[in-house]
Every structure is written in structure tokens, then in C-alpha cells.
Structure 1
Amino acid sequence: MDWTIWAGLAAGLLISTVTAPVGVSGAVFLLPVQLSVLGVPSPAVTPTNLLFNVVAGPGALWRYRRDGALGGGLARRLVLWTLPGVIVGAAVRVFALPGPDVFRVLVAALLLPLGMWLCLRTLRRRPARQRPDGGPDAGPDAADPSAPVLACLALTVGVVGGIYGIGGGSLLGPVLAARGMPMARIAPATLAATFTTSVAGAAAYAVLALASSGPVAPDWWLGLACGLGGLIGGYLGARLQPHLPETALCLLLGALAAGLGALYAVQALR
């Protein structure tokens, strides 16, 4: 068996175990591995990443559902608005924007400052108050965004996710966490949106591949191998999440966002 299959399995497992507790599928961290190490061509890397999300997503989601963390309307609202965005993004990716350079600049500009600010904000924040039931009270900043703001955010993230195959959790998570939302709400909702939009995006790329002469179809074997690793890692990460303090989860998400932004900033400057 090709070494890239085993490398993809290991990468999916390790990345998902770390990212699932903060609502990130890991596809955005898998993207540079696929481009630089595993040699997946562009734009085929995007549907390959979406295939990873489709296979990996049920592991973490099943665990979160079993723990009762998928309740509430946040997941439904994110799914409602990211779905049309990912269809638009897939069409833009195939016919208008095949290169990764713009994506690297955009991700660096968004995630590097946002991740650093989230880490600093978490370190400066006073310990959370306790609710009468003993759970942490996230405080006054934890209000949900207004319906129009959440719709615009989710739609934009859906377009970006459709273009670059990242699902959107790596963008939605830091923004919602920066508003003070508890990670126990963010992680299941963003992973649900990532999974649903990835299914739609993968289907869109399968259709668009019929109308394009370039490498648009996913690398099926590699995507499945990465996804199998992510399926196991996502379950492990979701199982670990309730045992981690909110401060540690916010710092982890902030560090992941800042680290990814720095990585893409360096790549964009080369």
C-alpha cells in the first residue's frame, strides 16, 4: 500500500484528536499536509478535504450527541446558512479561483490576530462565575449574535469553506468564542455545520467534475484514509472535551487559530 495512505491515516487521527474538542474538524490543518507532503494537486485538494470531513465528522458528532451536547438552535442556524454558501464556493473554486495564494493571505489576516486576541482575552478574563446548578456562567458577553449577523457570518464561512474545503469550523469557532460563547456550545454546533456543508460540497464537486477538464475529483483513497483517522480521532477528542476546563479549550482554540494564521502567512510570503 502506498505510504501516503498510511501518512494520511496518521495525520487525520492526530489532527482530529487535537481539534475536535474545540469544534474544528481539522481539515484546515490537513490542507497544507495534503499540498506540501502528500502531493495532492489543486483544486483536487479541496474535494479531498471535504471527503475527509464527511468520513471523519460522524465520530465526534456521535459522541457529542450521546453526551446531549447537540441540543439547541445554534447548530441548526449555522447549517441553514452555511449550506448555500458552500455550493457557491465550490463553483467559484472550480471556475474562477484555482490557486491557493489568496486563501493563505485571507486565513493569515483573519486567524493570526483573532487567535492572539482570543488567547490574551482568555488569560486576562476573570474566572467564570458559577450558575446555581454548579456549571460555569460564561457571563454577559456570551449572548448569541443577532440573527442577521449570524446569517452573514455563516454564509461567508460557507463560501470560504466551499472554495477551500475547510468546512468552516476553524473560522466560526474563534469568532463565536471571541464573543464569549462557551466551548461546550460552540464545538458541537460548528462540527455539525462542518459535516453538513462538507456533504453538500463534496456532492457539488462531484457534479462540477463532469464539466471541468482539470483535477477536480477528490483523491478517493487518500481522502478515505484521512477520514478514517479523523473518525477515530474526532471521537476521542469529543470524549475528552467535557474533561477539559473552559480556559484550556479557549487557549487551545486561540493557539490553533494563531498558529494556522502564522503558517499561512509564512507560506504566502514565499
Structure 2
Amino acid sequence: MYFPVAGIEVNPFIPPLVAFVVSFFTSMGGVSGAFLLMPFQVSFLGYTSPSVSATNQLFNIVAIPSGVLRYIREGRMVWPLTVVVIAGTLPGVLVGAIIRVKWLPDPAAFKLFASTVLLWIGIKLVLNIFRKDKSRNKDAEEKFQQLVKDHSSKSEEGVKLPTVRVLKFSTTRVSYEFYGEVYDCSTIGLMSLSLIVGVVGGIYGIGGGSIIAPFFVTIFGLPVYTVAGAALMGTFVTSVAGVIFYQAIAPLYPNMVIAPDWMLGILFGIGGMAGMYLGARCQKFFPAKSIKWMLAAVILFTACKYISEFFLK
């Protein structure tokens, strides 16, 4: 099947299949999978124009709601954190989109930028895994895991697993409780980080919240079981803004392909929708440390691949 906007030809079953596999694993860590679909489109499909960023964000719009719905149903959506993520990443994504079109339209320069970002995130995540866990994080995650194991067969019969309880949400602090442990963060700190990550996500074309979960885990010490839903919801909202923005500025750059390839994005999104729902449903059965290792592995692999491609060509 030929996709005229992307300028590529690919079997229509490939995009949803790849998106399903990627999204199933990455959604457990609060990552939509867009950051891995980007190198797949650039390196394997040969889709290198700025339009690929908009298409990737279109994937988020179609795929993410299913995973978010699951986290809401299980009571693990930290709404104050979600609001802060959206407020910080939304303007960042728009700035990032402008930077992508104006200063990083060249695929080689874009790959070097993307690899640098991913390498930094991956290293931070690995260092966090090896560093001795804060007792409150470790205890809460291990207790939650044990409860899931003890009641996995009963949970479908109405046994309620621990949920998030918001304690405070103001312009200065965000505080919530999860399985007997209290997590308290600076609202300004969370929003500042979200803004920076939003700019990076806007340039990379993955939505502002797509890579924010690893930052919340490594910098603020928040448990991955509670940040995944907020990160995905933030990614969804900022991706909507990103796609609208790319579509709106497309006429201003008649010599460049900027608007998303709607058919390709929807195909990726259909596979991602199923993968994210199952990933969100299965997350509680996977140890937090395993999820972190999974995120670190795919991030570092992608970064090294981009770096090697940049210097070998």
C-alpha cells in the first residue's frame, strides 16, 4: 500500500502489528511507544520528512485513550500530576514543533539530536536502577506487587487493589499517598521539568509526555505504578495540540511535507490502542524494576542505533 504523504510503500498490516508490540511493553512504563515508532519510521520505512513528527503524534491520539481508561478504572491516575504535566508540556510541544521545522528538517541533524536526548534519558534511568532505592519507594512498590500476586485471582471478583489518594494540590506542592507512602513534590519543579521535556518531545515528534515518566522516576523518585497514567494522559493532550499545529503551519512551508499522513498514523494508532490497553492492564503484574530495565534497554538501543547511523554515513 502506498502512502502519498509519507512517500513510502508498506504492507498495511505492518504498522498496526509493530505498534501493538511496542505499545504493549512501553505503556507499562507510562511511555506511549511513539519514541520507538519514530526510529522505525525513519530507519526502516524511510519516512524522514518533518511530517513524520506529526504522524507520530497522530498515533498517540488514536492509541493512548485505551491505556488511560484502564489506569483510571484501576484508580492509579494521579490527576494533579496530570494537570501539571499538561500545563508544562503543552507550550513546550508548540515551541519544539517550530524548532523541528525551522532548524532540524535535515534527517541527519534530527537523528543526532534524538540520539543525544535518548542516550541521556537511558543513562539516567540505568543509574537510578543501580542506585539503592529509597526505602519508601522500594517498600511501596514491593508491597503493591505482593498484594497483586496474592489477590490476582480474586481481583477480577471485586477485591479492590490499592489506589492513589491525593493529599494536596496547590501552586506550590503536589502530594499524594500510594500504599501507605506519601510522595510530595514541588509544583514549580514538576512544571519546569514538563516544559523542558515538552520542547524535546515536540522536536522529536512524540508528544510532550511521552518521555516524562523516566524523568519523574529518576529525578523526583515517584513510583512507576503511579506516574504511567499521568504521563500517557499528558502525551495525549499535547499530541492533539501538536497535530493541529503541524496541520495549521503546513501551508506556510509549501516546499516541505509537514502535515501528518493521516492513514499511516491511524494504522499505527489502531495497533497501539490494543497494545496500550493490554499493557496498562498487565502492568501491575510486572515488578517495577523490570519495567525500568525494559525502558532503559529500548531507550539505549535506539540511541546507539541513531548515533552509529549518524557517524557511519
Task: Please give the TM-score of this superposition, normalised by the length of structure 2.
Answer: 0.77
- Opposite residue 17 of structure 1, the aligned amino acid is F
Aligned counterparts of 1:252 and 1:156: Cα–Cα separation in 2: 24
- Opposite residue 302 of structure 2, the aligned amino acid is L
**Match of 1:70, SS?**
coil
The change in CA–CA distance for 1:46 and 1:144 in structure 2 (over 3 A counts) is farther
- Spell out the pairing of 1:138-157 with structure 2 (5 A cutoff): 143-157=183-197
Contact 2:48–2:107 under 8 Å retained in 1: no
Deviation at 1:75, TM superposition (A): 1.0
1:70 aligns with 2:77: yes
Contact 2:50–2:258 under 8 Å retained in 1: yes
* 2:199 corresponds to: 159
Aligned counterparts of 1:264 and 1:144: Cα–Cα separation in 2: 37
- Spell out the pairing of 1:115-154 with structure 2 (5 A cutoff): 115-125=122-132, 130=139, 134-135=143-144, 143-154=183-194
- Opposite residue 266 of structure 1, the aligned amino acid is S
Of the three residues 82, 101, 107, the one matched with 2:108 is 101
The change in CA–CA distance for 1:118 and 1:196 in structure 2 (over 3 A counts) is same
- Opposite residue 237 of structure 2, the aligned amino acid is T
Aligned counterparts of 1:22 and 1:10: Cα–Cα separation in 2: 20
Contact 1:90–1:205 under 8 Å retained in 2: yes
Contact 1:40–1:219 under 8 Å retained in 2: no
The change in CA–CA distance for 1:129 and 1:84 in structure 2 (over 3 A counts) is closer
Of the three residues 237, 245, 249, the one matched with 2:291 is 249
**Match of 1:40, SS?**
coil
* 1:228 corresponds to: 270
Aligned counterparts of 1:176 and 1:86: Cα–Cα separation in 2: 18
Of the three residues 221, 243, 248, the one matched with 1:207 is 248
Deviation at 1:87, TM superposition (A): 1.5
Deviation at 1:145, TM superposition (A): 4.6
The change in CA–CA distance for 1:71 and 1:175 in structure 2 (over 3 A counts) is closer
- Opposite residue 220 of structure 1, the aligned amino acid is W
The change in CA–CA distance for 1:130 and 1:151 in structure 2 (over 3 A counts) is closer
Instruction: Decide which moves more: 83-92 or 226-235.
Output: 83-92
- Opposite residue 49 of structure 1, the aligned amino acid is N
* 1:49 corresponds to: 56
Contact 2:194–2:209 under 8 Å retained in 1: no
Deviation at 1:91, TM superposition (A): 2.3
* Unaligned runs of at least 5 residues, structure 2: 3-9, 146-176
Aligned counterparts of 1:40 and 1:269: Cα–Cα separation in 2: 20
Contact 2:114–2:204 under 8 Å retained in 1: no
Aligned counterparts of 1:195 and 1:100: Cα–Cα separation in 2: 25
Task: Please give the TM-score of this superposition, normalised by the length of structure 1.
Answer: 0.88
Contact 1:174–1:257 under 8 Å retained in 2: no
* 1:87 corresponds to: 94
1:171 aligns with 2:211: yes
Deviation at 1:120, TM superposition (A): 4.6
**Match of 2:222, SS?**
coil
**Match of 1:68, SS?**
coil
Aligned counterparts of 1:202 and 1:110: Cα–Cα separation in 2: 22
The change in CA–CA distance for 1:169 and 1:268 in structure 2 (over 3 A counts) is farther
Aligned residues: 267
The structure where strand makes up a greater share of residues is 2
Instruction: Decide which moves more: 45-54 or 106-115.
Output: 106-115
Contact 1:5–1:221 under 8 Å retained in 2: no
Deviation at 1:261, TM superposition (A): 2.1
Aligned counterparts of 2:203 and 2:60: Cα–Cα separation in 1: 14
**Match of 1:5, SS?**
coil
1:258 aligns with 2:297: no
* 2:157 corresponds to: none
